[in-house]
């Protein structure tokens, strides 16, 4: 739960976090009860869950500072990207843009993918065939991508996604060329 909250760039509600993580809202509340000194938990399920201090993100994502509490940004971004793709794949009704978490997932999944690649450097095993994330991505692309892309085009978000995907390809090509030289 904490990993997701520090990884997402815009705060989500308890309801949205539950949907994204595919758990019950009560489980989100239960998980957050012990960290209310560092996480601002809203009084209702639709208010945003926020960090009290943004420096907490820096602390937890710096291994030298956080030690046993370290949250790996590469793993975190891949996990959130996988959660986005999973929730998008599971949604089969109505327009996604009327549901906050689906709108977030549609707009942000490839940004999380790009962040994982950038932060992972050349040693990132992201694109290996046996990787769980690649299975989720391939399942999404082969099954749901066209439907979602058509919906996104209708919402004019496609430009942002295509630009980010282009950056993903550029960064990956750059990393791949560095790996061959070494």
* Model pLDDT for residues 78-99, shown as the tens digit of each residue: 999 999 999 988 887 666 777 8
Q: Contact at 8 Å (CB) between 77 and 112?
A: yes
- 40 CB neighbour count, 10 Å cutoff: 14
Q: What is the pTM of this model?
A: 0.79
Calculate the CA 133 to chain-centre distance.
Answer: 12
Distance CA(98)–CA(87), nearest Å, equals 14
What pairs with residue 179 in β-bridges?
none
Q: How far is CA 25 from CA 31, 111, 120, 160, in A?
A: 10, 26, 32, 31
Structure tokens at 131: 């990787």
Task: Give Cβ neighbours of residue 52 (< 8 Å, ≥ 6 apart).
Answer: 37, 38, 39, 40
Query: What is the rounded average pLDDT for all residues in the chain?
Result: 86
As beta bridge partners, residue 51 has 39
Q: Tell me, what's the pLDDT at 123?
A: 57
Higher per-residue pLDDT: 106 or 5 = 5
Distance of CA 32 to the CA centre of its chain: 19
């Amino acid at each position: 739960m904490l990993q997701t909250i520090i990884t997402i760039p815009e705060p989500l509600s308890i309801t949205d976090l539950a949907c994204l993580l595919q758990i019950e809202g009560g489980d989100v509340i239960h998980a957050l009860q012990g960290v209310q000194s560092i996480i601002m938990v809203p009084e209702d399920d639709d208010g945003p869950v926020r960090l009290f201090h943004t420096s907490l993100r820096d602390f937890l994502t710096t291994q030298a500072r956080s030690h046993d509490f370290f949250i790996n940004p590469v793993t975190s971004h891949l996990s959130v990207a996988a959660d986005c793709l999973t929730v998008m794949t599971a949604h089969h009704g109505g327009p996604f843009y009327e549901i906050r978490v689906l709108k977030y997932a549609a707009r942000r999944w490839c940004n999380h993918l790009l962040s994982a690649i950038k932060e992972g450097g050349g040693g990132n095993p992201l694109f290996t065939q046996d990787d769980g994330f690649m299975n989720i991505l391939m399942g999404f692309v082969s099954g749901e991508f066209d439907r979602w892309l058509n919906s996104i085009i209708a919402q004019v978000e496609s430009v942002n996604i295509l630009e980010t995907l282009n950056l993903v390809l550029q960064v990956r090509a750059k990393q791949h060329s560095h790996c061959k030289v070494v």
